[in-house]
Chain A
Amino acid sequence: MANKIKLEVVTPDKLLLSKDVEVVVCTGVDGEFGVLAGHVPFLSALAIGELRFRDGNVTDYAAVAGGFAEVTGEKVTVLAEAAELAREIDVDRAKRARERAEQRLAKAATEQLEYSRAEAALQRAMLRMRVAEKGRPSA
């Protein structure tokens, strides 16, 4: 049995998750990275992407809308302005958000700032849907 590492996901609204798991895989800005217990102290910026963690045979997913991950030997702390567990994602809402973002994207094509914001919104919406999809069979 592998050593466990504590995973904490913190958002401004709440402590989303605090759990001992075997493996954590985060989406960093330079690609995915996995963390096991005893990892070197490490700090990374996170892209809009999924977070997966395995405990025993169960793999769970969460959607993280950018932020940071701080890793110490015993603990991974994910700091995100928004994050949701796969089973808590409201797929309909995500779909609506995606449609809205697509519209905004079409309209905002001319303005740089607005465009990048709309793009980020679209990414978040699509991520939520993807993660919700994955989380379903195991949840």
Chain B
Amino acid sequence: MAALRDIKNKIAAVKKTRQITRAMNMVAAAKLRGVQEKAERFKPYAAKFAEVLRSVSAGVDPEIHPLLAQPESVEKVALILLTADRGLCGSFNMNLITKAERFIKEQTQAGRQVLLYTVGRKGRDYFRRRKVEITQDLSGVMNVVDFDLAVQVARLGLNAFLGGEVQEVHLIYSRFASMVSFVPTAEKMLPISPEAAAEGEAGGGSEYLIEPSAEEILVDLLPRYINVRVYNALLQTATSEQAARMAAMDNATKNCKEMINNLTLLYNKARQSAITAELMDIVGGAEALKQG
């Protein structure tokens, strides 16, 4: 009889697990919707910003700004790695970390030193466990992604770059390609490549009166452009995280269901054979009495 009770306990435990994974799935779905809305609201700003940047940079010599200046030789690069704060989202964090490790390896082989900045607890924990030096980290921040956070992250890169500590700043984030596809992506953030700034230059919106002057506006505009890019990356990473967690929890719930089915089958079989055995005993006993 002990075996029967064991199976029953096991079923109850798996049911509880299923309840939790199901709840987490729903929480992730709600958060996903929140982040997606945020991304939606950010779109007009990003679009307008790109337009203004285009019309300003059209007539300007790109060499004038320190953020555009291409370095002669690169000895140190900064890497900003975005990950989630929490796990339970499948291979999401690991994919980003692997990408970062590969990046570090490539840069080291090219004779460059990498300063690592991590945003999100998972990336920090991983590299800390492996005794990789982290220059600076921001963790516990991915729960609420807002523009202030983007400014903070962008400042990490800008300070290192403008302070002359590094000659390039790269960013690794998770691009949200679709609900089931998140691509870890590495992007060079600084120096800003002139092509990126003048993307689709043929827009022809340059017949503006510009005040104080295109150069001066550009000085103001470019650091903000970094903010915009970082915010975009943060939003995509957060969206990917929630979508990944949703998928992972959905899978877990399905697996629980399967396990419960199997266990129930096992339980019924055990119960049946127990009854049969008991019946045999009774019948056997009765026969014995009759004969006696």
Interface residues of A (CB under 8 A from B): 10-15, 28-30, 40-45, 66, 68, 70, 77, 79, 81-82
Q: Is the CB of B211 within 8 A of A81?
A: no
Q: Is the CB of A44 within 8 A of B221?
A: no
Q: Is the CB of B208 within 8 A of A41?
A: yes
Q: Is the CB of A30 within 8 A of B212?
A: yes
For the complex, what is the distance from the CA of A30 to the CA of B212, rounded to whole Å?
Answer: 7
Interface residues of B (CB under 8 A from A): 38, 41-42, 44-46, 48-49, 51-52, 55-56, 146-147, 150-151, 207-212, 216-217, 220-221, 224, 227-228, 231
Q: Is the CB of B146 within 8 A of A77?
A: no
Q: A68-B52, A68-B217, A79-B49 are in contact. Are A42 and B211 (CB under 8 A)?
A: yes
Known contacts A29-B216, A42-B211, A43-B211, then 14 further A-B pairs from the complex at CB < 8 Å, ordered by chain A residue: A10-B44, A10-B48, A29-B212, A40-B209, A41-B207, A41-B209, A42-B209, A43-B52, A43-B209, A44-B217, A45-B212, A68-B52, A68-B221, A81-B151
Q: Is the CB of B48 within 8 A of A45?
A: no
Please report the number of residue pairs spanning A and B whose Cβ atoms sit closer than 8 angstroms: 70
Q: A10-B44, A13-B41 are in contact. Are A43 and B49 (CB under 8 A)?
A: no
Closest chain B residue to A30 by CB distance?
B212
- Give the chain B neighbours of A79 by CB distance below 8 A: 45, 48-49, 52
For the complex, what is the distance from the CA of A29 to the CA of B216, rounded to whole Å?
Answer: 10
Closest chain A residue to B37 by CB distance?
A14
CB distance from B145 to the nearest CB of A (A): 11
For the complex, what is the distance from the CA of A28 to the CA of B46, rounded to whole Å?
Answer: 21
| Chief secondary structure at chain A's binding surface | strand
- Give the chain B neighbours of A45 by CB distance below 8 A: 211-212, 216-217, 220
Q: A41-B209, A43-B210, A70-B52 are in contact. Are A15 and B44 (CB under 8 A)?
A: yes
- Give the chain A neighbours of B211 by CB distance below 8 A: 28-30, 42-45
For the complex, what is the distance from the CA of A42 to the CA of B208, rounded to whole Å?
Answer: 5
CB distance from A64 to the nearest CB of B (A): 14
For the complex, what is the distance from the CA of A30 to the CA of B213, rounded to whole Å?
Answer: 11
CB distance from A18 to the nearest CB of B (A): 10
For the complex, what is the distance from the CA of A29 to the CA of B49, rounded to whole Å?
Answer: 18
- Give the chain B neighbours of A15 by CB distance below 8 A: 41, 44
Chosen A-B contacts, 26 in total, with CB atoms closer than 8 Å, are: A11-B147, A12-B42, A12-B45, A12-B46, A12-B147, A12-B150, A12-B231, A13-B41, A15-B41, A40-B209, A42-B208, A42-B209, A42-B211, A43-B52, A43-B209, A45-B211, A45-B220, A66-B220, A68-B217, A70-B51, A70-B208, A79-B45, A79-B49, A79-B52, A81-B151, A82-B147
